[in-house]
């Protein structure tokens, strides 16, 4: 069977990661969370007091940055590791969410992470989600999806996700963070978030999780 690359882009908190994961599982593909890579880079810069605005710090930060995905034997899930340490939970906290879009505007950081993402997707049979996957990382992706949902729906869903992980965050703070990340991600000079003309749009505001996964799997099977 023909293996393809599926690129899923869209706004913050509209369920891209969980959807992409489920699509990959259904098709027997590898799922790659490119946002986790920007989040891990953010944690690395914060932990080492490096400023993304200082080119010397960026160079230093990138030299000592190693991001990988491995199966965690305890959770049996593929999780994010930074320089050999599991950072899966830490990178999802509001501390990182509030900083990540700033880190993601830096051209040198994007260049390095995009190169890693392209290497990870080389063998095809991959579902990758992010902001520039269909435009920059895999401009020739076989299937491009652009996911959207209204801001209030996204904020409520994100609050539930954080609560499940034990972090209680005010709904208004989440709403502000999502809106601000959308603004920065869509207006930055480097690889801004935009819907590609050849992308299929999936609005998840009023459909169930199973429906959104089903739509993408159906579109993929038409090509495979």
For binding to ligand C5P (CB under 6 A), which residues are involved?
Answer: 12, 34-35, 38-39, 100-101, 104, 130-133, 181, 185
Residue 49 CB, nearest approach to ligand C5P (Å):
21
Q: Is 221 exposed, middle or buried (0-12, 13-18, 19+ CB in 10 A)?
A: exposed
Q: Has 61 been labeled as part of a binding site?
A: no
Q: Tokens for 14, please give them.
A: 């509209």
Q: Has 14 been labeled as part of a binding site?
A: yes
Residue 212 CB, nearest approach to ligand C5P (Å):
16
Q: Has 111 been labeled as part of a binding site?
A: no
Determine the Cα–Cα distance for residues 10 and 197; give it in Å rounded to an integer.
14
Phi, psi (rounded to 5 degrees) for 66 = -130, 110
Residue 38 CB, nearest approach to ligand C5P (Å):
4
Q: Has 17 been labeled as part of a binding site?
A: yes
In the bound state with ligand C5P, the residue whose beta carbon lies nearer, of 88 and 185, is 185
Phi, psi (rounded to 5 degrees) for 184 = -65, -45
In the bound state with ligand C5P, the residue whose beta carbon lies nearer, of 165 and 221, is 165
Determine the Cα–Cα distance for residues 121 and 70; give it in Å rounded to an integer.
16
Q: Has 13 been labeled as part of a binding site?
A: yes
In the bound state with ligand C5P, the residue whose beta carbon lies nearer, of 68 and 221, is 68
Ordered DSSP codes for 70-87: EEETTTTEEEEEETTEE-
Residue 221 CB, nearest approach to ligand C5P (Å):
25
E-strand ranges in 104-169 read 126-130, 143-148
Residue 108 CB, nearest approach to ligand C5P (Å):
13
In the bound state with ligand C5P, the residue whose beta carbon lies nearer, of 133 and 174, is 133
Pairing of the two strands 67-72 and 143-148: unpaired
Q: Has 166 been labeled as part of a binding site?
A: no
Q: Has 101 been labeled as part of a binding site?
A: no
Non-local (6+) Cβ contacts of 130 within 8 A are 8, 9, 16, 33, 34, 35, 117, 137
In the bound state with ligand C5P, the residue whose beta carbon lies nearer, of 11 and 29, is 11
In the bound state with ligand C5P, the residue whose beta carbon lies nearer, of 29 and 138, is 138
Residue 113 CB, nearest approach to ligand C5P (Å):
8
Determine the Cα–Cα distance for residues 23 and 211; give it in Å rounded to an integer.
11
Q: Which positions make up the binding site for ATP? A: 10-18
Q: Which positions make up the binding site? A: 10-18
């Amino acid at each position: 069977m023909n293996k393809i690359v599926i690129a899923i882009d869209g706004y913050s908190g509209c369920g891209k990661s969980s959807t992409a994961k489920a699509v990959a599982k259904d098709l027997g593909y590898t799922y790659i969370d490119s946002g986790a890579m920007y989040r891990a880079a953010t944690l690395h810069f914060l932990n080492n007091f490096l400023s993304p605005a200082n080119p010397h710090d960026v160079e230093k930060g990138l030299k000592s940055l190693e991001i990988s995905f491995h199966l965690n034997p305890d959770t049996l899930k593929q999780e994010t590791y930074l320089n050999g340490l599991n950072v899966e939970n830490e990178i999802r906290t509001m501390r990182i969410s509030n900083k990540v879009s700033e880190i993601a505007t830096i051209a040198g950081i994007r260049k390095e992470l995009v190169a890693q993402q392209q290497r990870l997707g080389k063998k095809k049979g991959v579902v990758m989600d992010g902001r520039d996957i269909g435009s920059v990382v895999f401009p020739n992706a076989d299937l491009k999806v652009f996911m959207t949902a209204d801001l209030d729906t996204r904020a409520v869903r994100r609050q539930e996700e954080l609560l499940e992980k034990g972090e209680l965050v005010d709904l208004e703070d989440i709403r502000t963070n999502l809106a601000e990340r959308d603004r920065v991600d869509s207006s930055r000079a480097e690889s801004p978030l935009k819907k590609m003309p050849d992308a299929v749009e999936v609005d998840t505001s009023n459909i169930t999780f199973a429906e959104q996964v089903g739509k993408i799997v159906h579109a993929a099977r038409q090509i495979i």
